[in-house]
Amino acid sequence: MTSASINVVTWVLVFASTGAFWAIVFWTLRALVIRQEASSARAADPMWGLKERLAQGEITVDEYWRIRDLVDNLPTQV
């Protein structure tokens, strides 16, 4: 290989690795933002917390249904 072809290969590798780096940064930040949006949406839903408590065994099925009926019958605020 000549020195000119080595320089071309070097530049191609530099551009490819730089592009890969920024792609990884972009996808990581995107994943963090999506995860944050999902967790804040779950926090706003009272049923999500209730379902999670049932799944973790903190409350019984009977308690779940009793609390769910209470939450469903709450007056909505306008």
Residue entry with tokens 């019984």: 60
pLDDT at residue 54, as a whole number = 92
Q: What is the pLDDT along the chain (78 residues), one digit of tens a residue?
A: 667 677 888 999 999 999 999 999 999 998 888 777 666 666 677 788 888 889 999 999 999 999 999 888 877 665
Residue entry with tokens 């930040």: 29
pTM above 0.85, yes or no: no
Q: Would you say 68 and 46 are in contact if contact means Cβ atoms under 8 Å apart? A: no
Strand stretches in the chain, DSSP E: none
Nearest by Cα to 64 from 44, 47, 43, 41: 47
